[in-house]
């Protein structure tokens, strides 16, 4: 059983709205990464947080933002949703170089 929990599992939003996705990591995993996976494609790196600070970012616009909390939970916020934001959003936490992924949140933008 994965130690990374994501919520909600599914979500439908309207174009232009804002969404917050949540991830709960295993205790001690102080690095968390977020990925976007479009249907039929590999995951694409959005950003990474280490000890509550962003320390890496992929090619995503500023309307994608995040937070990491001291209790090893984190959030991905997306503003001004676009249809192309429809995807599976994955978070991954790491300990000693091994990355464990959650089951993801399926976001549909209509």
Q: Which residues contact 40 (CB under 8 A, 6 or more apart)?
A: none
- Alpha-carbon span 18 to 63, nearest angstrom: 9
When asked if residue 48 is in the footprint of another protein (CB under 8 A), the reply is yes
| Minimum CB distance to another protein smaller for 9 or for 17 | 9
Stretch of 14-22, 36-44, 63-71, 79-87 lying at the interface with another protein (CB under 8 A): 36-44
When asked if residue 3 is in the footprint of another protein (CB under 8 A), the reply is no
Burial 75-93, CB ≥16 within 10 A → b, else e = bbebeebeeebbbbbbbbb
- Alpha-carbon span 14 to 63, nearest angstrom: 16
- For residue 27 the two structure tokens come to 């205790």
Stretch of 14-22, 66-74, 78-86, 101-109 lying at the interface with another protein (CB under 8 A): 101-109
Given 13, 45, 67, 95, the residue binding another protein (CB under 8 A): 45
- Which parts of this chain interact with another protein (CB under 8 A)? 2, 4, 6, 33, 35, 40-45, 48, 50, 55-58, 88, 90, 92, 97-104, 106
């Amino acid at each position: 059983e994965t130690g990374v929990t994501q919520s909600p599992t599914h979500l439908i939003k309207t174009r232009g709205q804002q969404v917050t996705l949540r991830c709960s990591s295993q205790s001690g995993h102080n690095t968390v990464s977020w990925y976007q996976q479009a249907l039929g494609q590999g995951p694409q790196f959005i950003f990474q947080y280490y000890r509550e600070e962003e320390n890496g970012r992929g090619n995503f616009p500023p309307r994608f933002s995040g937070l990491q909390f001291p209790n090893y939970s984190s959030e991905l916020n997306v503003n001004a949703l676009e249809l192309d934001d429809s995807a599976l959003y994955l978070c991954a936490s790491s300990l000693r170089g091994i990355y464990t992924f959650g089951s993801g949140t399926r976001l549909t933008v209509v």
